[in-house]
Chain A
Amino acid sequence: KAGVTQTPRYLIKTRGQQVTLSCSPISGHRSVSWYQQTPGQGLQFLFEYFSETQRNKGNFPGRFSGRQFSNSRSEMNVSTLELGDSALYLCASSLTGLAGYTGELFFGEGSRLTVL
């Protein structure tokens, strides 16, 4: 079956702009979570959605937001971009999320954002 699809794969923005990234989970998966990966901070959790509701949020400013649609597709938005937002943004899907306790998240290949 098809894996997790993230679009766009690469994008370049300038400071102050906003960006929207999209994630299509594996068919049937209802949980989508987002992670940011930078060389300095590594992989950090942003937020997790399940059935259109945000269940958990990481320690990021309010400029980072997300949502999930009824078909489980998710988007994340970063407003007023800063240079430090340059990163690989990874989306992961699972049937029920980590609470369901299989521990297996399926990650996409990420969206690489460069802020100039």
Chain B
Amino acid sequence: DAKTTQPTSMDCAEGRAANLPCNHSTISGNEYVYWYRQIHSQGPQYIIHGLKNNETNEMASLIITEDRKSSTLILPHATLRDTAVYYCIDLIQGAQKLVFGQGTRLTINP
């Protein structure tokens, strides 16, 4: 079973920052936090991952709390194409599989 919890759905206005929270209260020291998203009728797409430091790439930023029990994915300027289901996953180093939860359905509104 997935060990992360996320809100079922969220809305965000186009052009604004979308902040998607994730709780991973049972995360252990060697587990990373990964984010993937799935746009309708497509396969999941990798977004970003991190261990304890905040991370940023061309798609998003990942903010991890100091106690590592929660994180927030930030899409700085959301567009309609960011409408998707976003999955937060914790992954044990050396594991060979992703355990997906139900994710957050993010809707970007014009």
Interface residues of A, Cβ cutoff 8 Å to B = 4, 33, 35, 42-45, 48, 55-56, 58, 90, 92, 97-99, 101, 103-110
Contact = CB atoms under 8 A, between A and B. Distances in A.
A107 B45 CA distance: 7
Interface in B61-101: 87, 91, 93-101
Interface of B: 32, 34, 41-46, 49, 87, 91, 93-103
A106 B36 CA distance: 10
Contacts of B42: 107, 109
Contacts, number: 61
A42 B98 CA distance: 12
Nearest to A50: B96
B43 A90 contact: yes
Given A42-B102, A92-B43, A109-B43, A103 B32 contact: yes
A114 to B, nearest CB: 15
Nearest to B96: A56
B43 A110 contact: yes
B46 A43 contact: no
A103 B49 contact: yes
Nearest to A44: B100
A105 B96 contact: no
Given A42-B102, A103-B34, A103-B49, A33 B44 contact: no
A56 B44 CA distance: 20
A98 B91 contact: yes
Counting chain B CB atoms within 10 Å of each CB, the highest count among A42, A98, A103 belongs to A103
A104 B96 contact: no
B103 to A, nearest CB: 8
